[in-house]
Amino acid sequence: MKFVDEAVIDIAAGNGGAGCMSFRREKCIPFGGPNGGNGGKGGSVWFVGDRNLNTLIDYRYNRRHEARNGEPGRGSDQFGAASEDIVLRVPVGTMIKDFETDQILAELVEPDVPVLLCKGGDGGFGNLHYKTSTNRAPRQKTPGWPGEEKKVRLELRVLADVGLLGMPNAGKSTLITAISNARPKIADYPFTTLHPNLGVVRVAPEKSFVVADIPGLIEGAAEGAGLGHQFLRHLQRTRLLLHVIDMAPFDDGVDPVKQARALVKELEKYDPELAAKPRWLVLNKLDMVPAEEREAHCKDFIKRLKWRGPVFQISALAREGLQPMLHAIYEHVHAQVEQLAPPADPRFEESMPVVAPVVDEPVRPVRGARKVVAKAAKADNDEPVDPRFAPLEPEPELEAAAPAAPVRRRTRAA
């Protein structure tokens, strides 16, 4: 399948249906009143990220996507039916921009999350909508509202944690083949890779990250040399760049230091923010350098380049020096992910309910309370009753101090 990471399409939502002006006319029913219904709502246009797609080839040739209009209202209190929405599925990581203003409308970075781009028009009102106690025979109606219409540009930017950067034939495809299950094309001529490749690197159980391999860059890519720098957009969402250096070029006249500096200049021409991302050096193809000369060769390269960042000496073909590099990459990516994680809201944190301890406190009897004889009830198993729930007997001192209630005597009427 051909890899397409850019497409321009036209999208249009449906118009709302017009309202209806109608009156009920039946035999023996004078002044039937209005019965014109409202129009239906037009269909909207939604975009959804699909993790099973990896190219925009479906939108390269199908450039027009329209939703249906809503049905108009009819008499007999019949409202128009609303039209169904259309859902356009694109790869996860697609950026949607306005074609005229180049404004970013949406970024689909999560799968199965719908985003509304064009809202359908609302239906018009029929004369039944305007019926009131004072306006019993309205003769007005409104047409449906038009739906939105846009011309957008779709740009696919792959979602990867680490990006491989380097000149053609630097060994990027061999490296992603050695550390993941990706199987890009590998050959002994430049520009073998013509489109980005993704690979999942598993460092340990439940510890992994995604690597993106893009076509090689050469000096003058900003002016269109080679494949240009159009594929650099796929590295803008990465957290780390691995600059792969060919330490054993075929041509002895090629200077790796000069090539490395030229590639950095191309990054700065394309996007200064991309050039400012964390970048590590990966010195590849050291299996072709004699063992006794490797250390001196690498030190000389680092000294001439004036590099002070992390450096890894590997051989992707011989699988040498890969594990320390992969563990260091995972720690760096994992640390950045933890920093970007939003803090937990204390309002939604689960807390255990606090149970107040039960304290046995004596209950003071009420003055003038009736005398209650406490009866100790026993269960069938002759267990004693909790004294807290036993009936209380008033104290004799309080009972004697209570004033006696006056006695009423019934007198016979004279």
Give the C-alpha separation, 24 to 29, whole Å: 8
In this predicted structure, the answer to whether residue 16 has a pLDDT above a threshold of 90 is yes
In this predicted structure, the answer to whether residue 57 has a pLDDT above a threshold of 90 is no
Superfamily for the 1-156 domain: GTP1/OBG domain (2.70.210.12)
pLDDT at site 14:
93
In this predicted structure, the answer to whether residue 372 has a pLDDT above a threshold of 50 is no
- Please answer whether residues 249 and 288 qualify as being in contact, where contact means their C-beta atoms are separated by less than 8 angstroms: no
In this prediction, residue 373 has a pLDDT band, given cuts at 50, 70 and 90, of: very low
In this prediction, residue 145 has a pLDDT band, given cuts at 50, 70 and 90, of: very high
> Residue 343 is encoded by which pair of tokens?
């803090």
pLDDT at site 369:
46
Every domain of the chain and the residues it spans:
1-156, 162-340
Which whole number is the average pLDDT over 366-392? 51
Give the C-alpha separation, 378 to 382, whole Å: 5
In this predicted structure, the answer to whether residue 19 has a pLDDT above a threshold of 70 is yes
Give the C-alpha separation, 36 to 161, whole Å: 59
pLDDT tens readout for residues 288-301 = 888 888 888 888 88
Which whole number is the average pLDDT over 360-369? 53
The more confidently predicted of residues 108 and 214 is 108
Give the C-alpha separation, 85 to 46, whole Å: 7
Give the C-alpha separation, 43 to 50, whole Å: 21
pLDDT at site 379:
45
In this predicted structure, which of 73-77, 106-110, 383-387 has the lowest mean pLDDT? 383-387
In this prediction, residue 364 has a pLDDT band, given cuts at 50, 70 and 90, of: low
In this prediction, residue 393 has a pLDDT band, given cuts at 50, 70 and 90, of: low
In this predicted structure, the answer to whether residue 380 has a pLDDT above a threshold of 90 is no
The more confidently predicted of residues 350 and 119 is 119
pLDDT tens readout for residues 219-278 = 777 666 666 677 778 888 888 999 998 888 877 778 888 888 888 888 888 888 888 888
Looking at the structure, give the CATH architecture of the domain made up of residues 162-340. Answer: 3-Layer(aba) Sandwich (3.40)
In this prediction, residue 355 has a pLDDT band, given cuts at 50, 70 and 90, of: low
The more confidently predicted of residues 382 and 122 is 122
In this predicted structure, which of 69-83, 108-122, 182-196, 325-339 has the lowest mean pLDDT? 182-196
Q: Rounded to 5 degrees, what are φ and ψ at 310?
A: -65, 145
DSSP strand pairing (149-156 vs 162-166): unpaired
In this predicted structure, the answer to whether residue 114 has a pLDDT above a threshold of 50 is yes
pLDDT tens readout for residues 405-414 = 555 565 555 4
Number of H helices, E strands in the chain: 7, 14
- The whole-chain average pLDDT of the chain stands at 81
In this prediction, residue 377 has a pLDDT band, given cuts at 50, 70 and 90, of: very low
In this predicted structure, the answer to whether residue 30 has a pLDDT above a threshold of 90 is no
Q: What is the DSSP string of 165-202?
A: EESTTSSHHHHHHHHSS------SSS----S-EEEEEE
Compute the radius of gyration of the chain from its Cα atoms. Answer: 40
Give whole-number Cα distances, 288 to 185, 295, 324, 362, in Å. 21, 13, 20, 92
pLDDT at site 388:
62
Burial class (CB in 10 A: 0-12, 13-18, 19+), 398: middle
For the beta carbon of residue 293, count every other beta carbon within 10 angstroms. 11
Give the C-alpha separation, 387 to 303, whole Å: 89
pLDDT at site 361:
55
Long-range interactions of 29-34: CB distance < 8 A, separation 24+: 31/136, 31/137, 33/131, 33/136, 33/137, 34/126, 34/127, 34/128, 34/130, 34/131, 34/137, 34/138
The more confidently predicted of residues 91 and 340 is 91
CA 18 from centre of chain = 38
The residue to which tokens 């550390």 are assigned: 179
% residues pLDDT > 70 (the chain): 79
The more confidently predicted of residues 187 and 19 is 19
In this predicted structure, which of 120-124, 264-268, 338-342 has the lowest mean pLDDT? 338-342
Which whole number is the average pLDDT over 324-340? 83
The more confidently predicted of residues 282 and 159 is 282
The residue to which tokens 């004889």 are assigned: 373
pLDDT at site 47:
94
Cβ-based neighbours of 181, under 8 Å, separated by 6 or more: 199, 200
Give the C-alpha separation, 106 to 49, whole Å: 11
In this predicted structure, the answer to whether residue 329 has a pLDDT above a threshold of 80 is yes
For the beta carbon of residue 247, count every other beta carbon within 10 angstroms. 22
Give whole-number Cα distances, 255 to 5, 117, 218, 261, in Å. 33, 50, 13, 10
